[in-house]
Structure 1
Amino acid sequence: MKIRTAGPADADEIVQVKNASWREAYAGIIPDEDLASLPDVPGERFVRSLSSPKPFTLNLVAERGQDVVGWAATGWYREEVGEDEVGPGSPGEVWAIYVHPDFQGRGIGYALMREAHRHLTETGLAPIRLWMLEGNESGSRFYERYGFVADGERSTFEFSGTAYPTVRYTLPKDRLVDELL
C-alpha cells in the first residue's frame, strides 16, 4: 500500500471509495434510497480542488496496486476560521477520511489518518477536529482508537433535505504523530 497526494486523475476513484464507504457506514442512518442516489461522478469544484489545492489543505489517497482504496482530506477548521484567516495556530480539521469497505481493517485508515495528522501538525493547525454522523459506530471506534475524544459539541449535517445529528471529535494538542509510529 502507498499513501500519496491526490490529483485530479484520482477524482473518479475517490468518488467510488467515498460512495462505497457511505453506503456501508451510514446504512441504517441515512435511508437506502438516498445512499443509492449518490452521484457517481466528481463535481467540477472537487476536481478543481485536486488540481489547485488551497494553502493548508491536503488530499491524500491510499493505493493498493493501481487502485485507489482510501481517501483523506484535511484543512482548517471551517466552523471557526475563514479561508482568509487561516494560519499557524488555527485549529485544523480532518474533512473526510474513507476506506473502501473491501479494504477496511487493514491499517489503511490509520495510515491515512497518520499522514493527515502529520500534515496538519507540520502546518501548525491544532487542535485537530472532525465531525462524524451520530450512530456511525465503526467511525467512532476508529477515531477513539486513534486518540480522538468526543468533546460534547453537536451540530447537524444536511443531506438530501434531511438534517442528521453530528458529533465533534478533537485530537488533543499534545498527541504527537511520532508516538503513533
Structure 2
Amino acid sequence: MADADVRVAVPEDAAEITRIQLTTWRTAYAELLPAEVLDGLDSEATERQWYETLTSGPAAVLVATEGPWVVGFCAAGPAPEAEAAAADGAVPSDLAEVALVSTLLVEPRWGRRGHGGRLLGAMAQRLAAQGATRGITWVPEADTASMAFFRSAGWAPDGTVRTLDAGGRPLRELRLSGPMGLSWAN
C-alpha cells in the first residue's frame, strides 16, 4: 500500500469529496435507497454544498489519502440539539461535549485498508481537543458494514431511532454513541 495519511480538507477538495460521496452512495446504498433517489443526486449542488462547508463550516472535514489520491472523508462538529436529543426530545446534560460525525465515507475500491479508522481516529482526536467527550452518528440499520465499523471503535446504538423518507421508502437509522477515546476491537 502506498503512503496513507489524513489531512484537513481544503476548498479545492470539494469536487473529489463530491465524487467520493456520490460513488459511495450509489454503490453501498443501492439496496437501501430507491434508484430514482440515487440517480437524482445532483453533483453540482452537492459540490457547492461541500465547498460552502469547507469555506464556512460549521463542520470540520478531514480527507484520507493514499499516495496522491483522496480516498475518503469525514465531516464532524458540535452536535446540534435536535441530533443529540433523546427520542422524547430531552436534551442531554452533556450536550456541550457531544460531537456529531455527520459523514464518514471511504470510496469502496479503497475500502478495507484502514482509511475509515484513520479518519475517525484523527477526527476524534480533533474533537476531543475542542472539548468533546462523546460522539454520535446516524447509521442506516441495514448498513451492516458501517454498524460493524463503528462497533469496532467502541460505539453502539444508544436506543434512539429515526425514520427518514428516502424517496417514498422509509429508511430506519440508529443513533450510535461512543467515547472520543476510541477502543478498537480486533
TM-score by length of 1: 0.84
The change in CA–CA distance for 1:161 and 1:90 in structure 2 (over 3 A counts) is: farther
The correspondence for 1:121, drawn from 123, 128, 131, is 128
Cα pair 2:161 2:172 within 8 Å, conserved? yes
- Tell me what 1:64 maps to: 66
Q: What residue is the counterpart of 2:174 in the other structure?
A: 167
Preserved contact between residue 84 and residue 136 of structure 2 (Cα < 8 Å): no
Number of equivalent positions: 170
Which ranges in structure 1 are unaligned for 5 or more consecutive residues? 82-86
* In structure 1, distance between residues paired with 2:64 and 2:170: 31
Aligned pair 1:7/2:10, yes or no?
yes
Q: 2:55 aligns with which of 47, 51, 54?
A: 51
User: Is residue 88–residue 124 contact of structure 1 (8 Å, CA) maintained in 2?
Assistant: no
Amino acid at match of 1:47: Y
1:46 CA drift (Å) = 2.6
Residues 30-67 of structure 1: CA distance to partner in whole angstroms, max 9, x if unpaired?
A: 1223222222233434312201334xx31001122222
CA RMSD, 1 decimal: 2.2
Cα pair 1:25 1:138 within 8 Å, conserved: no
Describe the superposition over 1:94-145 as per-residue Cα deviations: whole angstroms up to 9, x where unpaired. 1100000000000000000101111111111231100011200111111111
Secondary structure of the residue that 1:129 maps to in structure 2?
strand
Q: Which 5+ residue runs of structure 2 have no aligned equivalent?
A: 86-93
- Matched-pair contact (CA < 8 Å) for 1:70–1:109: yes
Question: Quick check: 2:23–2:107 contact (8 Å CA) kept in 1?
Answer: yes
Identity %: 28
Residue 102 of structure 1: aligned partner: 109
In the alignment, what sits opposite 1:148?
155
- Deviation of residue 8 (structure 1)? 1.1
